Amino acid sequence: MSKLNGKIAVVTGGNSGIGYASAKELKSQGATVIITGRNSEKVQAAATELDVKGFVADVESISAIESLVDQVRNEFGNVDILFVNAGIFQPAPVGQISEEMFDHQMGINFKGAVFTTEKFLPILNDGASIINLSSVNAYTGMPNTAVYAASKAALNSYTRTAATELASRKIRINSVNPGPVATPIFEKTGMEEEQLNGFAQAMQNRIPLKRFGQPEDIAKLVSFLASDDASFITGSEYNIDGGININPLLS
């Protein structure tokens, strides 16, 4: 099936994890895909593997987002699908949260996400689909995730309001809230391998379906929300978490 034939899709943070899998899935459905990321080598390597276009852009910088929009407009014209996926995870307990950590996570996960949409809006076609990557952490109260969770809760709130305001252009905007997914984001936290393994095992035991999600699981949902099959869906949040959010105390 090629539900996205003729569509132009942009995936931020598309060089690894959920972004990479989603870019691959969107392309398989017929879309012309552009991925972005902060690291030039990683972006170009992923773009070559996926056979898509890669642009370097750090969403923490508004001027970089503006430059990205100009590049996309000049080469591809208007956009039909915007997957606002770029994000970071930096765990820290309450009482040990630094201003730098706060600004960095909020700068990418919330401010960067908001201004990605803000700056792309002029080149989004009427009827376009925006998908924001959020997290079930927005609701779980999981230790050491206060700022990360707050950034995602803020993004979900923004999504609901934006859905109301963008409806006049038939632009749909929705949030995807993954639970634990096997991606490189955890490896970037600075935790030792032993800590990571222990964390992963403890987390997996709490998931009713007893497994981590795979990036491809999320990609399928992103592809659905990007398609006309989801034409009556906006302002919604989709938990895709193996059931952890409905039974967080399961052991």
Provide the b/e sequence for 106-120 (b: ≥16 CB within 10 Å). bbbbbbbbbbbbebb
DSSP assignment of 157-220: HHHHHHHHHHGGGT-EEEEEEE-SB-STTGGGG---HHHHHHHHHHHHHHSTT-S-B-HHHHHH
Q: Give the DSSP H/E element, type plus range, for residue 116.
A: helix 113-120
Instruction: Check residue 25 and give its pLDDT.
Output: 98
- pLDDT range class, residue 251, cuts 50, 70, 90: very low
- pLDDT range class, residue 248, cuts 50, 70, 90: low
Beta bridge partners of 55: 36
Q: How far apart are CA 69 and CA 120, in angstroms?
A: 6
Q: Tokens for 30? A: 């017929």
> Could you tell me the residue ranges of all domains in the chain?
8-239
Mean pLDDT of 100-109: 98
- pLDDT range class, residue 140, cuts 50, 70, 90: confident
Residues taking part in catalysis: 148
Tell me the C-alpha to C-alpha distance, in Å, between residue 124 and each of 69, 119, 166, 244: 10, 10, 11, 35
Q: What percent of the chain has pLDDT over 70?
A: 90
* CATH domain 8-239 topology: Rossmann fold (3.40.50)
Would the pTM count as exceeding 0.85? yes
Mean pLDDT of 122-133: 98
Mean pLDDT of 142-163: 97
The conformation of residue 129, written as its DSSP 8-state character, comes to: E
pLDDT in tens, 9-61: 999 999 999 999 999 999 999 999 999 999 999 999 999 999 999 999 999 99
Residue 195 has pLDDT above 80, yes or no: no
